[in-house]
A and B are shown apart, each in its own frame.
Chain A
């Protein structure tokens, strides 16, 4: 045994250290009955949890307290979740409470967390499985109770924002043991008969037991399998159900679902006006630029005085023709002169002209031209051609 003497503070610190290090005490569920419940001006809640043989002092700070879904009262059986903290100053310990829920639904919370974990692991909540919503849904299937505020709110907001959508109510029970099967049936039926291009499903606010149908695994899977995009609208903030995790889009309330599902008709009217202005402006711009081109062309010389332009061109044509004629004329004259010269030269060389100068052509009786004396012998008969006549002769 340790005989060391502790200071009070030291001992309290030692106890604190021990308790701080214990993993169980750092996050523990405790069951008991509420008593001495008091809300301080600071907003923090102080109370005692007790059972037959024990009591435990508790505090729940303002932040955690605001998340409570019920009104705590003395005598209520509850389950608290929190951690043990030691106060050396008082020599006491307390439970810092993070969550407080009525006992009896504790099991429900556990089931909820377990299913959420399971479906998350399977990938049912993955972003990439979420389908885009149609921009202008033509038909919207609303799967909810036919009574109550939820369906009225949805119809009203849809009617105000986008009356072009046809609203198709598939009434179902939204709480009780038969609810999940009815909800699943409606979702499947809508898909099978292609009733709409958007589904809104959900219900108004309530306790965790009231909303329980939308935590049902069958409902989650039906939403996941739906080819038609689904908006879930269960309860109010901060209610979150498994259906909200699986849906293609989560709405905080039924009215919010209608807001998210369709555009606003006034926004669309403005958009149309904007488009009208833009087309007008674009066309005006184009016409203006074409007009400018036309004006530029009109300024050019050819357009200002076409007659002058043509006259100029005409003169050019005449001038060119003249030169052409002159050139061809010269060529012809030159050619003729050459021809005359050649003809004259040819003429001069003509044998007929030679004969005119006194020369004669002598031929034998068979017509062969006599070129030398040896071509003939004496006594031969020959013919002699003069310029105009022909004489016969005998060689000496």
Chain B
């Protein structure tokens, strides 16, 4: 699940909620969907809570490739 982006996780949670609310899935499936949904929600919550903004300055490096350096906001 580490490779999942926030967007992908949210979309999957949305699917799960819709399926569960329809209510016509067999019990085992509902239970496993609920588990999946709950852990995805936790995952998203962690992403939000642990997020720290990263700011970089991009310049064209000597080889033409992008090179990142720190951006000093107090200029």
CA distance A160 to B58 in the complex (A): 22
Contact call A193/B65, Cβ cutoff below 8 A: yes
Contact call B66/A167, Cβ cutoff below 8 A: no
Say if the beta carbon of A155 comes within 8 Å of chain B: yes
Contact call A163/B58, Cβ cutoff below 8 A: no
Contact call B5/A168, Cβ cutoff below 8 A: no
Q: A135-B7, A189-B60 are in contact. Are A286 and B20 (CB under 8 A)?
A: yes
Contact call A282/B68, Cβ cutoff below 8 A: no
- Interface residues in A47-65 (C-beta closer than 8 Å to B): none
Contact call B34/A279, Cβ cutoff below 8 A: yes
Say if the beta carbon of A164 comes within 8 Å of chain B: yes
- Interface residues in A275-294 (C-beta closer than 8 Å to B): 275-276, 278-280, 282-283, 285-286, 289-290
Q: A138-B5, A275-B13, A279-B17 are in contact. Are A169 and B34 (CB under 8 A)?
A: no
The secondary-structure label for the interface of chain B is: helix
Contact call B23/A286, Cβ cutoff below 8 A: yes
A257 to chain B, nearest CB (A): 15
Contact call A278/B21, Cβ cutoff below 8 A: yes
Q: Which residues of B contact A171 (CB under 8 A)?
A: 57
Q: Which residues of A contact B58 (CB under 8 A)?
A: 141, 168-170, 195
Contact call A167/B56, Cβ cutoff below 8 A: yes
CA distance A152 to B55 in the complex (A): 11
Contact call A269/B20, Cβ cutoff below 8 A: no
Say if the beta carbon of A166 comes within 8 Å of chain B: yes
- Interface residues in A221-278 (C-beta closer than 8 Å to B): 265, 268-269, 272, 275-276, 278
**A-B contacts, 5 listed (Cβ < 8 Å):** A141-B58, A155-B73, A158-B53, A164-B47, A279-B37
Contacts A147-B75, A167-B53, A269-B48 known; 17 new A-B pairs at CB < 8 A: A135-B7, A136-B5, A151-B73, A155-B53, A155-B73, A164-B48, A167-B54, A167-B55, A167-B71, A169-B58, A189-B60, A193-B66, A275-B17, A276-B41, A279-B38, A279-B41, A286-B30
Q: Which A residues lie at the B interface, using CB under 8 A?
A: 134-136, 138, 141, 146-147, 151-152, 155, 158-159, 162-171, 189, 193, 195, 265, 268-269, 272, 275-276, 278-280, 282-283, 285-286, 289-290
Q: Which B residues lie at the A interface, using CB under 8 A?
A: 5-7, 10, 13-14, 16-17, 20-21, 23, 27, 30-31, 34, 37-38, 41, 44-45, 47-48, 51-58, 60, 65-66, 68, 71, 73, 75
